[in-house]
Each structure stands twice: as structure tokens, then as C-alpha cells.
Structure 1
Amino acid sequence: MTPRRGQLQLLPAPEDRDRVGAEGQGAGGGPSTSRGRRLAPGAPPSPGTVPLELARELRVGEPVIWWGHKDHIDRRPIVWVAIVGVLMLGLATLLAPELWDQPLADMWKPLVPALAPAALLAARQWLSLRAVLVTDSSLVVRDHRGRLDRLAFRNVRRVGRDLLTGGILLEGARHKLRVPPELEQDARAAIASQTRHTLQGGDGPDDPLGWLG
């Protein structure tokens, strides 16, 4: 597959090429493209070539272990939650028709409780639009506004749940990186492939979830 203009072509590590080639053979003998390509031993498959805006954050000679992105909003759960809210309004109307006799300025009172969950879910979906890149020593995240930030594994001070996206929040001294729930398992596996043989001292990060463990 020819890389598109504006993207960096990356190949698996030399020691992993034979294994990747063997894994990439489907039942018919052709290459498997269902989950992308594996860029390093022990790392999850990546969706393809690294976008240029992420590749620009790489240092000279810095290897890419894995990258992934959440690039669309899943509207199905939003629609279902909105339908439930409308049904609640319908039920409230049947039980108390006088609900709609109040002034227009007060109509927000019944509407907000019914529709707020769908609105909050839509906001969380939008905030979780991110691209995540793992190198041999750092995590790079491009957020929903296109801003990029980097945090080295050794500089992570705390790991916890992220209220904005529902995923993982990695905190350093001056950086906070959010990994959306759709990418957290692959990101964790990619980081583990680079840190599993690292000896942890007594001053490791505060990680009650055991996400980096």
C-alpha cells in the first residue's frame, strides 16, 4: 500500500519483521490488514503509517512502538440515551399534563433532566477525540483541538481515571495526558512492552489502578 502524502512510512523493527510477516498471512496466504501493522515486538497493531503531525514530535532516531486514534464520535449511545430521555418526557406528560402549562421561561426545568445525559455523553465523545503515540520512552497525545503534549514514562507521577473522557489520566509535574477508553488497553500494552523489564524503585508513580504495573 502506497503511503499517502503527508504521512511517514514506518516499518517494523528488523527483529520483528519475520514474525510480523508470519502473523500477517491469512488463510489464503495474503497479508492480513484487519488490525493494521505491528511496529515493535510485543506491541499491539497500529492502524497504519503515523500521521505527519505526530511524526513531527519524534526526536531524531526515536522509534515508534505503537500509535492509535479515536477520530470519530460514536453516535449510537448518544441516540439511545436521547431516546430514553424523550420517553421519560412522554411518561411525565402522561402522568402530569399540567407540566407543559408553565411559562416558556420555565420549560428548561423538565427538559434539562431528560436531555442532559445525552448532551454530557456527546461532550465526552467529543473530548475523547485523540491520537496517542507511544515511543520507547514517552507518550505523545494530540487532543481534540490538535494540541500535542509529551510525557516520559519516568516522569509520570500519578495515574487515575479521567472524568472528561472516561479513560486514563497520566499526570506529570507539568503535563496531563488523557488516553480515551477506546485506546487505553492498546496504549497500556505498548508501554508495558517497553517497561516490563524496568526495575521499579520505591518512588514510583501513584497508580491505584495498576495501569502501569
Structure 2
Amino acid sequence: MRDADWIDSTRQSYDTVADNYTDFTRAAMDRSPVARSFLDVFSTLVGMQGRVLDAGCGPGWVTAYLHDNGLEISGIDLSPRLIEIARTNHPEISFDVGSITELPVASHSLAGITCWWVLHHVPDSSLGTVMAQFSEKLEPGGYLLVGGHLGASTHTKTEGYGGLPMNVHMAKRPLEIFAELIESHGFVIDLQATLDPASKAPSLILLAHKALQTT
């Protein structure tokens, strides 16, 4: 699948469901205190080291949480409607339309990147592109925090969030696949965890830092 195809279909889908999706995710931070604790760890590690980007920020709930933790953070998302909602709800934070396949920041300019429940929409053919972007845009020693669905299945999601039409790629991948992908792009994994492992919908969280350049 070409980048343009899944990017366009994902953008259109989330523009369609944006308002319902915003309502659905509004209390997500309260529903998952364990996941929230990883955001707190990320905040502590990044601290005042520099800029942070929330890649695939949606309506900005995670972005705002990290901003309230003291981080200098901005957000990007494919969906113009979700960005409009994020700007309305959090006018103190910079939000822009953008793709995780081409992050709109200078190389080695970020102290941290979060990508929270986003990568399941990225086909296998584009995962390397996304991870290469994360590596390129982070400064050496910068932190990457990834959260997402865990499993071993792929399908196309055709409706959601109140039965609205969607056309998005859905790939649940094993933790080992993410770990290998991250390490192959110059990252050192500091922490990896499975959330709700006994449930029908387990999740993963990976925290890694970009390896320091050696001479």
C-alpha cells in the first residue's frame, strides 16, 4: 500500500468520526492510570531538555497532559478536524496538520517524541519510514514513547465511533516486532510492558532513547 493511499483514507476517516472520537477518548487518561504513569515517567526523563512532539495527537488529550506536566510540547495529526478540536480545547498549545511519515521539524531538534495508539494504522510497508523519521528528528539521547494495540492480526476497519463510516488499516503486532523495529533504527529500549495481558485487548508500551553517537 502506498503512503498516499493509507494516509488519505486515514485522514478522511478521522475527519468523519472526529467529534465522536473526541468524546470517546475524553476520559481515556482517567480510564488507564497505569498507562498514564508511563507518561509521567516520560515527562520526568525529558524534563526541560527541549521540545517534544506528540506524533498523531488526535484531539490533544495526551498532548495537554504532558504540557501540564511541564513539557514544551506541540502536536500533529493527519485530520484537520481533530486539529481544529485540539486547538479549540487547548489554545495554549501549538497543533498542526501533519503526517508521522514526514515530521515537520528540523533534524535532531527534539528531546522527545510520543506516538500514542497510532502505529496500528500504519501498514508494514511504511513502518520503517515512520521509525526513520523518529530517529532523524530526535537528538542523540532523546526519548521515544510508543503505546498501542498488541496482537497478531490485520484488517480494515470500516466503521466506528457510533457506526460512522471509516476505511483505516488496523494492524495489531507482537511486542517483539516493535522492539526489533525500534532497535534497528538506532534506539535502545529502556522499558517495555504489556498492559492488560489477560484481556481480549492487550496493549503495549515501549520507552526507548536514541543511542548517543559514537566517534
Q: Same fold (TM over 0.5)?
A: no
Scaled by the length of structure 2, the TM-score of the pair is 0.25
Structure with more relative contact order (C-alpha pairs < 8 Å, separation 6 or more): 2
Larger strand percent: 2
The structure having more radius of gyration, on CA atoms, is 1
TM-score w.r.t. structure 1 length?
0.25
